[in-house]
Each structure stands twice: as structure tokens, then as C-alpha cells.
Amino acid sequence: MTPDQDLRAAAVHYLRQWEARDYATMRSLCTETAVVWHNDGSGDQPIDENMELLKQLAADVGTLRYDIVRQFQHGDEVLQQQVLHLTMTDGSRSDVHAAMYFRFDGGLIDRIEEYFNVVPLDASLPSPSPSPSSPSSGSPEQR
């Protein structure tokens, strides 16, 4: 395995540990000063705070699984597109579409940036509007 493959594999390994809820291994893959940034406007978060947040989030999650769509690497940086499939303890499901950036220092994750969008899968779709030819729709003057 080449050094480039090692870093790409390390990024995936980090995510697989969250699937397994192995927070100790996740933490061991990061530097002491690692930070996490999300596109929620809250700024950088120390890795240990992020681990606590992940533990809290996982309490309501029945299963979670990552699909890595693609990865790119340049030096000590890995960028990947992924979909996180979540099934909550109440049975609801959603997909989190994300781009995730990892910066490594000495083979350990030093910075994570995640740009994400949550897509609920069980949400009710709005009823279609009646078509203009539908008897209940009436003419524009009648509406």
C-alpha cells in the first residue's frame, strides 16, 4: 500500500469506527490538537468536544453506514464525497450527503471539515395539485 492509499484508508477507517461506535479508536486516529469544522457557522470544535457530540447523536441512531462516493488526495490532505445512511431508533431514516476534508499531520488526522445536507427519506410528499382538467379544479375565474 502506498502512503497515499494509507491516508485515504485512514480517513475511511475513522468513519468506520463511528459506524462501530468505537470512539477510543476514532480518537486515537487524531492528533492531540485536532479540530472539526462544520458548515453550521459554529467555527472550529476541539476533537474531544466533537467526540462527545457524536456520542450524543448516536444515542438516537439505530444504524449508520457510510458510502464513500469518491476520494481525492493531495499531499497530506484527503477530500471525499460520501453519503451517511441513518436509521433512527424511532424507525425514521435519512441520508446525509457530505463532502469531508481531512488534513493529516504525521499520519494522524489534524483537521476535519464537513459540508453536509440532511435529506429525510420518510417525509411525506405534498399531494399533487389538481390538474386543470380535473373537475374539482374549476376554471381560473372560479378559483
* Tens digits of residue pLDDT in 8-28: 999 999 999 999 999 999 999
Q: Which amino acid is at 68?
A: I
Give all strands of the β-sheet with 77-88 in edge-to-edge order. Answer: 44-46, 30-38, 108-120, 93-105, 77-88, 61-74
What is the DSSP secondary structure assignment for residue 140, as one 8-state letter? Answer: T
Least confident of 12-16, 38-42, 106-110, 123-127: 123-127
The DSSP line for 36-50 is EEETTS--EEEHHHH
| Mean pLDDT confidence for 121-129 | 56
Q: Which amino acid is at 76?
A: D
Please name every residue paired with 35 in a beta bridge, in sequence order, or none if there are none.
Answer: 46, 111
pLDDT number for residue 62: 93
| Mean pLDDT confidence for 59-68 | 94
40, 50 in Cβ contact below 8 A? Answer: no
